[in-house]
Amino acid sequence: MLISLSEIMTTKDKVIQINAPIELERFDYQGISYEFAHKEPVNLSITHLGNKVVMIEGNTNISLTLFCSRCLKEIDFPMNIEIQKEVDFNLTDEERADGLDETNFIIGYNLDVDTLIYDEILIGFPMKLLCSEDCKGLCKNCGTNLNEKSCDCDTFVYDPRMAVIQDIFNNFKEV
């Protein structure tokens, strides 16, 4: 959702208060698309502090459906998002970028709510997530979820005679 800020820019101390829906359908990150288990509109308050400097404050609660890093079980990951950003509209887009100011959520005189939220989710996104501290993960050989049951692979002993048979079988397939 884009919110035009040009209207409040004419008057100092003018405030916009709005409940802006999050229109992001999913959170795409590193080639994976994560679903929202829950999302609420962003409770936004945007204040013109004067001289084209705007304070953007907001909060929302969302929850993403993520996966355990070991066993891939789905986990609801709630995030409480608190936003407080000051944007100086006297600067050009390039000047803001040079100042390492993360204001890619500003397009001209518009606030892009979804980009703002995307950035905040990115900051809070966990590098690693476990369904429990002692998650046993998946068997690397057969894929069994070792939290639910054990498999026979744990006792697997490498037998060179089997490898020879495997080679013969593979050669046979190639003919």
**Distance (Å, whole) CA 63 – CA 26:** 11
Shortest distance, position 53 Cβ to Zn ion, whole Å: 47
Q: Whose Cβ is closer to Zn ion: residue 54's or residue 66's? A: 66
The number of beta carbons lying within 10 Å of the beta carbon of residue 172 is: 8
Q: Whose Cβ is closer to Zn ion: residue 41's or residue 137's? A: 137
Shortest distance, position 66 Cβ to Zn ion, whole Å: 11
Q: Whose Cβ is closer to Zn ion: residue 61's or residue 166's? A: 166
Q: Whose Cβ is closer to Zn ion: residue 4's or residue 132's? A: 132
How far are the Cα atoms of 48, 72, 73, 128, 157 from residue 137, in angstroms, in the given order?
Answer: 51, 8, 9, 13, 21
Give me the phi and psi of 65, to 5 degrees please: -90, 105
Shortest distance, position 54 Cβ to Zn ion, whole Å: 44
Binding site for Zn ion (CB under 5 A): 68, 70-71, 73, 131, 135, 139, 141-142, 144, 151, 153
3-state secondary structure of 149: coil
Closest CA to 71 of 126, 127, 139: 139
Shortest distance, position 127 Cβ to Zn ion, whole Å: 15
Q: Whose Cβ is closer to Zn ion: residue 77's or residue 105's? A: 77
Shortest distance, position 34 Cβ to Zn ion, whole Å: 17
Per-residue 3-state assignment (H helix, E strand, C coil) for 128-173: CCCCCCCCCCECCCCCCECCCCCCHHHHCCCCHHHHHHHHHHHHHH
